[in-house]
């Protein structure tokens, strides 16, 4: 699969999972195995040597560059990129730090990344990949990018809000109704770029992909590749604490559900401890500690919980008051495996030596 000027052996992107669930070890190993490895930039400064408790934004860019350098130590020739959420306050700074740190592509969602080409203008070789859940969103991004920057996406990720983990690009009341057809959207986005712009770019299906059957189905229905996040959590190389991974191994289907993030977006997670998360934050951090989001219900009115702190606690192993994002397939995890094990299962004899 080729995305912009960058080619990988297998049409697979490892999903960006913050806070520090997908950092240098996971992204670097996926890239070494022949896929696209992504470091999630949101909250990357937390649990880093750069964070001193009062320098959140300064620590973010420094920590991100560190993680990129460490990932390239694992996969010197690999395709390593970042996932940058539009919703975060330091979106522009994290995009620029990604470029300065050597990211070969930037995948961006949690809002429409309308300014992304302008932020990366000094790094034209960095491939730009927006995340959408509708043809309309893809059209809006393409028109804006072309008019303002004479740039079009190098690939597009189409995320299924009915199966994907983490923040979702759909209204809460419309998720799970059965109305959304991910692969009709994939085909629609593909047709739009071909017919309107005469551009044949990879359209990547994200959400619900777990095994080879899911992968084959995605390609059969028109996707050029897949993005997988949840499957990579229970690997030796995932950057999460072992307790985080064990929560996946222990969970059942009914433990996975939807919640409203203070970011104003729905999210999919293990939901049995949501009240404990809120109680902990109201007692321990009753005011916003970082200002990480542009718009945040906790920052403005102490509603819900502090999402970056909740995700950080989970990443460190506090599964009682930490938020554990996951896709609908998390219950399928049965063991800790390696990234190479997953590539062997997905691609088998197709793999290059």
* Per-residue pLDDT reduced to its tens digit, 42-85: 999 999 999 999 999 999 999 999 999 999 999 999 999 999 99
Average pLDDT over residues 98-109: 98
Two tokens at 331?
């219950």
The pLDDT value given to residue 353: 42
The pLDDT value given to residue 286: 84
Hunting for tokens 């059965």 — which residue is that? 178
Residue count of the chain: 353
Domains of the chain: 2-240+334-350 (3.20.20.70), 243-316 (no CATH)
- C-alpha 273/C-alpha 309 separation (Å) is 15
* Contact partners, residue 49, CB within 8 Å, separation at least 6: none
pLDDT tens track for 274-300: 999 999 998 888 889 999 999 999 999
* Contact partners, residue 145, CB within 8 Å, separation at least 6: 114, 116, 117, 151, 152, 153
Mean predicted lDDT score pLDDT of the chain? 96
pLDDT tens track for 130-177: 999 999 999 999 999 999 999 999 999 999 999 999 999 888 998 988
pLDDT tens track for 234-265: 999 999 999 999 999 999 999 999 999 999 99
Whose CA is closest to 71, among 109, 103, 41? 103
Whether 127 has a pLDDT exceeding 80, the answer reads yes
């Amino acid at each position: 699969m080729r995305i912009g000027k960058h080619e990988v052996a297998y049409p697979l992107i490892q999903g960006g999972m913050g806070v520090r669930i997908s950092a240098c070890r996971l992204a670097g190993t996926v890239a070494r195995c022949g896929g696209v490895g992504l470091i999630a930039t949101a909250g990357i400064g937390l649990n880093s040597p750069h964070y001193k408790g009062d320098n959140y934004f300064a620590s973010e860019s420094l920590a991100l560059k560190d993680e990129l350098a460490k990932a390239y130590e694992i996969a010197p020739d690999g395709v390593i990129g970042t996932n940058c959420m539009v919703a975060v306050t330091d979106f522009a700074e994290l995009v620029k730090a990604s470029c300065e740190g050597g990211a070969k592509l930037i995948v961006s969602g949690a809002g429409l990344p309308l300014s992304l080409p302008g932020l990366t203008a000094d790094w034209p070789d960095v491939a730009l990949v927006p995340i959408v859940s509708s043809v309309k969103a893809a059209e809006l991004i393409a028109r804006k990018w072309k008019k303002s920057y004479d740039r079009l996406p190098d690939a597009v990720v189409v995320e299924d809000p009915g199966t994907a983990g983490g923040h979702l690009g759909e209204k809460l009341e419309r998720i799970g109704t059965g109305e959304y057809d991910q692969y009709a959207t994939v085909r629609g986005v593909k047709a739009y770029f071909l017919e309107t712009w005469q551009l044949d770019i990879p359209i990547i299906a994200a959400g619900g992909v777990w095994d080879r059957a899911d992968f084959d189905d995605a390609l059969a229905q028109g996707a050029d590749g897949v993005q997988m996040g949840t499957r990579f959590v229970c690997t030796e190389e995932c950057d999460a604490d072992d307790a985080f991974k064990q929560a996946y191994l222990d969970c059942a289907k009914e433990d996975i559900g939807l919640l409203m993030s203070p970011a104003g977006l729905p999210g999919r997670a293990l939901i049995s401890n949501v009240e404990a998360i809120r109680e902990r934050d109201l007692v321990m951090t009753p005011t916003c500690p970082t200002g990480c989001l542009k718009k945040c219900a906790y920052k403005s009115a102490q509603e819900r919980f502090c999402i970056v702190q909740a995700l950080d606690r989970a990443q460190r192993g506090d599964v009682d008051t930490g938020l554990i994002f996951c896709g609908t397939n998390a219950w399928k995890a049965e063991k800790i495996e390696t990234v190479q094990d997953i590539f062997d299962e997905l691609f088998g004899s197709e793999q290059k030596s």
